[in-house]
Amino acid sequence: MRFNTSHIAKAMFSQPVAGTSIIDAAYTYFGQFIAHELSPSTGNRMVSRAVTGRLELDSLYGCTFDEMASSMPQSQLQPSGLFRLSEDEWPARPGDVFRKTSTDDFSQQASHQHTPALIAEMRNDANLIVCQLHRAFLRVHNKLVSEQWVTDAIEARQVLTLLLQLVVVEDYLAKLLSPEVYQFYFQQQQRLIGSDYARPADYFNLASFRFGHSMVRQTYTLNQQFHSRIKLADLMQINCPIASHHIIDWQHALFSSPDINIQDNGHKALKIDTHLSFGMAKVEAGELQKSIVEFNLQAAQEKGLAAGIDWFNKLYKQSAQSSQLFSQLNIEPLSNLAQASFEHVEHLHISNLPLWLYVLLEAQVQQNGHRLGGLASMLNAEVLYNAMQQARCSIYDNTHFDTAQVIKRFPEPLKKVDWISNAQFTLQNLLTFASDQ
């Protein structure tokens, strides 16, 4: 008999979360930004653009590199080569993306009024943090163009794409993947399972890259000026202008730092595990307004996605070399549901555990929720490696990359920026750079 998805949802929401991880909260939503770049929408409330599966910021520019180079009209860029931002038209409302409005005085609109953003990827306007990540990338582009560090908007996009890819490899994936898999893919620069699993597919879109749902906190502090915390329900609003008290201070919020009380853990993500914060229970997905748990599981069922253990066995047995590498990289199968929040759900066993739940339990058992486990690390590494290697502008030279060689491709003024010259490609450095005047 088939397990009941609503019973799984109840189990995942009914128990207290297991605590915070060592990963800063900003990476929860940076992962969502990447997902919107690579994966199509699986719900009907927010229709996404066509996706290519390449990590080259189509979600920002609204077109591919090829389309941009062919001089096709670009709705996202002005003739000056700059993106429009809120302060360009309404100086009294800085800190937002450009929005559609029918009023003459947008600066007087209440923050709760729905005014759609005029951006290429509308899913990035369904969450105040993801929207501000989108804005940060717009600002870096504008800085490159306005400071005349690049010759045109196309070169700005090339530079910004390289910066994004370096942050993904040297910061984001270094924190999230198991150490053995990360070293194998991005330091030794080898591949394990090959091109058949390289492009974003159902397993990535619906399961292995959805681990971030368990990292979502109940509340967040977005800046030091306004110390009140924003609740998750207020954070996840569609088409809402960003109020001044919700503007993120990237230097001091969503990232931990020495001047923040570490006991508070207010800037850390929750652990990657089988517990979801109660606030996520109120997040509805899809037209039928299901819980995020039911939506994820039923979407995977509709696609006929194999169980997690079946994915492990399939990849483990594909060749003699792969089975040896699994052992070398500490990629071990789960044997039971012990420790899972849904351990006692009727008809649910390790043999039929959906891949998404397998990914969460694997991280909980193998990494204490601080990183992804072996199978999820491998699946996600394969897709993200390919998404960067196949991009029209890539840090990779064929199958390898060298950070020092990538830096040489940057404009001279950019090479003099401290964090770039020191090869400190972190998400916080990039976002702080975007905020600098």
Question: What pLDDT, in 10s, does the model give residues 268-309?
Answer: 999 999 999 988 887 766 555 678 999 999 999 999 999 999
CA 51 to chain centre: 15
- Kindly state the average pLDDT of the residues 64-83: 81
Q: Nearest 10 degrees: CA dihedral of 37, 192, 212, 260?
A: -100
Of residues 262 and 70, the one with the higher pLDDT is 70
Structure tokens at 431: 């976002």
256: β partners:
none
Global pTM reads 0.94
Contact 124, 130 (CB under 8 A): yes
pLDDT at 92: 62
Query: Does pLDDT of 114 surpass 60?
Result: yes
Lowest mean pLDDT among 133-137, 176-180, 288-292, 358-362: 288-292
Distance CA 256, CA 89 (A): 34
- Kindly state the average pLDDT of the residues 140-162: 97
% of the chain residues with pLDDT over 90: 68
- Kindly state the average pLDDT of the residues 186-196: 82
- The residue written with tokens 């792969």 in the block is 322
Structure tokens at 369: 């929720």
CA 4 to chain centre: 29
CATH number of the domain that residue 409 is part of: 1.10.640.10
How does pLDDT run across 34-61, given as a tens digit for each residue? 999 999 988 655 566 789 999 999 999 9
pLDDT at 381: 96
Mean pLDDT of the chain: 89
Between CA 185 and CA 190, with CA 187 as vertex, the angle to 5 degrees is 35
Query: Does pLDDT of 28 surpass 80?
Result: yes
307: β partners:
354
Rounded to a whole number of angstroms, the distance between the first and last alpha carbons of the chain is 60
Q: Nearest 10 degrees: CA dihedral of 117, 122, 125, 131?
A: -90
Domain count, the chain: 1
Confidence class for position 115, pLDDT limits 50, 70, 90: confident
pLDDT at 294: 94
- Per-position DSSP letters for 207-228, written without gaps between them: IIT-GGGGG--SEE---SSS-S
Contact 353, 361 (CB under 8 A): yes
Interhelix angle 427-435/26-38, nearest 10 degrees: 90
Domain that includes residue 394, residue range: 5-435
Q: Nearest 10 degrees: CA dihedral of 198, 200, 206, 212?
A: 90
pLDDT at 112: 47
pLDDT at 7: 96
- Kindly state the average pLDDT of the residues 345-360: 98
Lowest mean pLDDT among 220-234, 274-288, 338-352, 361-375: 274-288
Query: Does pLDDT of 260 surpass 60?
Result: no
Query: Does pLDDT of 102 surpass 50?
Result: no
pLDDT at 385: 94
Structure tokens at 68: 């941009």
Count other C-beta atoms under 10 Å from residue 320's C-beta: 8
% of the chain residues with pLDDT over 70: 88
Query: Does pLDDT of 72 surpass 50?
Result: yes
pLDDT at 416: 96
pLDDT at 281: 83
Buried/exposed code over 361-387 (b: 16+ C-beta within 10 A; e: otherwise)? bbbbbbbebbbbbbbbbbbbbbbbbbb
CB half-sphere exposure, 218, CA atoms < 13 A: 12
pLDDT at 290: 79
User: Hey, what amino acid is at 264?
Assistant: D
- Kindly state the average pLDDT of the residues 139-155: 96
pLDDT at 358: 98
At residue 429, the 3 state secondary structure works out as: helix
Query: Does pLDDT of 391 surpass 90?
Result: yes
- Kindly state the average pLDDT of the residues 222-233: 80
pLDDT at 108: 47
CA 167 to chain centre: 12
Query: Does pLDDT of 188 surpass 60?
Result: yes
Query: Does pLDDT of 174 surpass 90?
Result: yes
Confidence class for position 252, pLDDT limits 50, 70, 90: confident
Beta-carbon contacts of residue 105 (< 8 Å; ≥ 6 apart):
none
Q: Among 387, 338, 416, which residue's Cα sits nearest to residue 169?
A: 387
Q: Among 126, 132, 129, which residue's Cα sits nearest to residue 114?
A: 126
At residue 308, the 3 state secondary structure works out as: helix
How does pLDDT run across 84-93, given as a tens digit for each residue? 998 877 766 7
Contact 32, 380 (CB under 8 A): no
